[in-house]
């Protein structure tokens, strides 16, 4: 199958960035430069998977995020550009020599990216699933931050963070899609782990748990930083106000609400 034929197949399947994806498939699976005329023997099964909606990132087994490369599989959510807003926010707000926690770490893309930029920081990364935690650990090794991060298998909906642990920040890109919305999402999302997407009936299950269970694990002047859905800002503000906290919202590249930074009111002094 030539490069031109790959493009034709992807385009006919309605894949918008078909040329970009053809280039990625050819170059990553064959480790050479793409051209329309080059024949790529054996690539057809991968092309067929993509045409059927299987994510490009899972086909090649990796993806790029922030300024790092990450191993990905069906055991973790695919890193997305919008989540870079969370990383950027945390990088800028962490104090010198910071110690932070990343809840629902998944591929580890948030914690690893922050540590890759902030050489002075250390982190603990929490994740429920051991297979997913293994991927995060591999990504820490790949990006040379494994000496500054510890991985913990635990349920973030319970109080899995020990009381003695005190952090400058607790960050998360948790599941935040409403359960009833999941069946309406793009078919490629259906290949990603549902547990990494389902935020409960109103999409707020994890935020409530974090604010209720882990506020006592924040140091003085510490903060929460969460990725949120484009329509969840007012709900996060309400949840924060209920708990005597202040919530600042930051927008993504498209102007949508994307990150909530939550602090105790009395710590704004």
pLDDT number for residue 105? 97
Residue 164: per-residue pLDDT: 87
Average pLDDT over residues 231-257: 94
- Which pLDDT does position 36 carry in this prediction? 94
Give pLDDT, residue 232. Answer: 95
Mean pLDDT, residues 187-207: 91
212: confidence class by pLDDT, cuts 50, 70, 90: very high
pLDDT number for residue 269: 36
pLDDT tens digits, one per residue of 137-179: 999 999 999 999 999 999 999 888 888 899 999 999 999 999 9
CB contact burial 160-186 (16+ within 10 A = b; e otherwise): bbeeeeebbbbbbbbbbbbbeeeeeee
Which structure tokens are listed for 101?
Answer: 């926690």
Q: What does the pLDDT average to over 243-266?
A: 92
Q: What is the reported pLDDT for 168?
A: 98
Burial of 213 (0-12, 13-18, 19+ CB in 10 A): middle
| Long-range own/partner contacts, residues 208-212 (CB < 8 A, 24 or more apart) | 208/239, 209/156, 209/157, 210/103, 210/156, 210/170, 210/172, 210/174, 211/239, 211/240, 211/243, 211/245, 211/262, 212/243
How far is the C-alpha of 206 from the C-alpha of 113, rounded, in Å? 22
* Distances from the Cα of 93 to the Cα of 87, 123, 133, angstroms: 10, 15, 26
Q: For all residues of the chain together, what is the average pLDDT?
A: 94
In which band, very low, low, confident or very high, does the pLDDT at 268 lie, cut at 50, 70 and 90? very low
Q: Edge to edge, what strands does the sheet with 218-227 contain?
A: 149-153, 122-127, 99-103, 167-172, 218-227, 257-264, 245-251
pTM: 0.92
Q: Is the pLDDT of residue 266 over 80?
A: no
Pairing label, strands 149-153, 167-172: unpaired
List, for residues 95-133, the tens digit of each pLDDT value.
Answer: 999 999 999 999 999 999 999 999 999 999 999 999 999
Task: Give the pLDDT of residue 267.
Answer: 44
What is the share, in percent, of the chain residues with pLDDT greater than 90? 87
Rounded mean pLDDT, 55-71? 96
């Amino acid at each position: 199958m030539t490069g031109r034929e790959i493009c034709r197949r992807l385009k006919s399947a309605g894949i918008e960035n078909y040329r970009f994806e053809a280039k990625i498939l050819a170059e990553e699976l064959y480790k050479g430069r793409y051209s329309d005329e080059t024949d790529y023997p054996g690539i057809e099964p991968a092309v067929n998977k993509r045409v059927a909606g299987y994510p490009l990132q899972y086909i090649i087994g990796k993806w790029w995020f922030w300024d790092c490369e990450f191993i990905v599989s069906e055991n973790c959510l695919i890193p997305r550009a919008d989540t870079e807003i969370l990383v950027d926010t945390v990088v800028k707000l962490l104090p010198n020599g910071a110690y932070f926690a990343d809840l629902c770490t998944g591929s580890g893309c948030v914690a690893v990216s922050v540590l890759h930029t902030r050489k002075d920081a250390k982190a603990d990364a929490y994740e429920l699933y051991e297979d997913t935690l293994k991927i995060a650990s591999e990504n820490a090794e790949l990006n040379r931050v494994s000496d500054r991060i510890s991985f913990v298998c635990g349920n973030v909906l319970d109080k899995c963070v020990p009381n003695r642990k005190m952090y400058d920040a607790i960050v998360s890109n948790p599941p935040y899609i409403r359960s009833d919305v999941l069946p309406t999402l793009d078919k490629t999302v259906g290949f990603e782990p549902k547990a990494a997407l389902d935020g409960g009936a109103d999409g707020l299950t994890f935020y409530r748990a974090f604010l209720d269970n882990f506020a006592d694990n924040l140091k003085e002047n510490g903060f929460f930083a969460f990725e949120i859905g484009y329509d969840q800002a007012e709900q996060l503000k309400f949840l924060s106000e209920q708990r005597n906290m202040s919530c600042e919202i930051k927008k993504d590249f498209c102007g949508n609400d994307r990150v909530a930074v939550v602090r105790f009111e009395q710590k704004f002094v």
